[in-house]
Chain A
Amino acid sequence: MNKQAVFAEGFWHNNTIFVQLLGMCPLLGVTTSAENGFWMGAATLLVLLSSNLVVSMVRGVIPKNVRIPAYITIIAALVTVVGMAMNAWVHSMYLILGLFIPLIVVNCSILGRAEAFASKNSIVDSLVDALAVGLGFTLALLLLGGVREMLGQGKLFGFPVFGTSYPDVLMFVLPPGAFIALGFILAGINLINRQMAARTAAAKKAQVMRAEAGSVGTASVGVEAG
């Protein structure tokens, strides 16, 4: 499979958050700051990579009828491992994200990738897919966390960006702010996608017209010759 196409699909065209609107729970819950968003994204990415790797390794071995319980067992074990590792080595982040880490298990995008991709594709392709989807998810969390932190507290990664006189807009720290910010981000992304689509369509149209003009030219030449 074309690695670049797999990556583009997972990272952008089929982005878990921006396009599929899956995994909203961690998205809205932890994105009160860019840093929280980043670490939640990193944890999810790690789980995705390992779950896609394992599922792709055991594809064909696991009987079809029990694949979902098997995948969920694998994912739950991996999430627990990531949670323990964070507790041990990034303890301060674990204290903030603690509640949300177990919820990675039920992030449907992870079981979704295992079922829809890793169980049918090679190990390398599955890793590329996991990387793309995980990075896309991290990008979304980072973006939303950054926007909320900036608008809500006037800071980015804990550093003031709007000066000290910035009045904190509490709404963006609270859950409604997450929905509102996400809505604007989605609108922006749709705008970008539409413009990109329009540009490719225009390019294609121009090409077709050129081709048509060419063929008309030859046809008329043919008529003349006839």
Chain B
Amino acid sequence: MVMIAEWMMMFDREQLRMVLALFVVAVIAAVLLGLTNMATRKPIAMAQKQTLQRALQQVLPEHNNDPQAQVIDVDGFAIYPAREHGVLAGLAWQVIAPDGYSGAIRILVGVHPDGRILAIRVIYNKETPGLGDGIVHNKAWVNSFRGRGLEGVRWKVKKDGGDFDQFTGATISPRAVVKAVKGALIFYRDKRAVIMRRLSGKLSRKVKAPPPRNQSVM
């Protein structure tokens, strides 16, 4: 205490006033931030859940379970199962294409239990509006993934000798997405047994019929 008092003596009144003013401002700011965090934590979590929910609806087939409540973790991927009356109808998880034109692209892939794509949805990207962001808005292109599996499909853009279109003036974004989706399917092929084992506690192994190809999304 004495030492602190001596130390304080080294400052004159004006300096103490400055320190005190900044201290009070910082404390008030901290309290304000804490209160706001408390007030917004739940709504933010809910908004994020709803955003994910909407995206999941778009890549998963009809289901009557809550995929977010039954999520499992396999190798750091959060895998959301869709079940119709307890029967596994599809799985969805997020993959990241690190090689987009401007930064990483996050994609939600919906996969049928037989290892074919149900649907994909780009949930985050910073690609060029009007060019690369066709990976979000170009419905025909997005739908071209439907029903494709690893077998008999060349997982490249046409420019690279593959089966997927690129866009006029934008090859990098579709290329990155195609590569990432292919990676998701390879992950599923390699980890299928693990995934099924993790899920099997709660469901039968029966699988619904695969979806028809090129069925419209919305």
Interface residues of A (CB under 8 A from B): 32, 58, 61-63, 65-66, 69-70, 73-74, 76-77, 80-81, 84-85, 87-89, 91-92, 95, 152-153, 168, 170, 173-174
Q: A74-B25, A81-B36, A87-B47 are in contact. List 16 more A-B contacts (CB 8 A).
A: A32-B129, A63-B21, A70-B21, A73-B22, A74-B29, A77-B32, A84-B40, A85-B40, A87-B40, A88-B40, A89-B47, A91-B50, A92-B51, A170-B131, A174-B128, A174-B129
Most buried by B among A61, A63, A89, A152: A63
0/1 interface trace, chain B 116-144, chain A, CB 8 Å (1 if under): 00000000100011110000000000000
A173 x B130 contact (CB < 8 A): yes
Closest chain A CB from B72 CB (angstroms): 26
Contacts of A84 in B (CB 8 A): 36-37, 40, 44
Closest to B19 in A: A66
* In the complex, B57 has a CB within 8 A of chain A: no
* In the complex, B9 has a CB within 8 A of chain A: no
Cα distance, A62 to B24, chains bound together (Å): 10
Interface residues of B (CB under 8 A from A): 14, 17-18, 21-22, 25-26, 28-30, 32-33, 36-37, 39-40, 43-44, 47-48, 50-51, 124, 128-131, 169
Closest to A94 in B: B47
Known: A88-B44, A153-B130, A173-B130. A81 touches B21 (CB 8 A): no
A66 x B33 contact (CB < 8 A): no
A152 x B130 contact (CB < 8 A): yes
Interchain residue pairs A-B with the least CB separation, the first 9: A91-B47, A88-B43, A77-B29, A88-B40, A84-B40, A173-B129, A66-B18, A81-B36, A88-B44
Known: A89-B43, A152-B130. A63 touches B48 (CB 8 A): no
Closest to A169 in B: B130
A-B contact pairs, 24 of them (CB 8 A): A58-B25, A63-B14, A63-B18, A66-B22, A70-B21, A70-B22, A70-B25, A73-B29, A77-B28, A77-B29, A77-B30, A80-B36, A81-B32, A81-B36, A84-B44, A85-B36, A87-B47, A89-B43, A91-B50, A95-B51, A152-B130, A168-B130, A170-B131, A173-B128
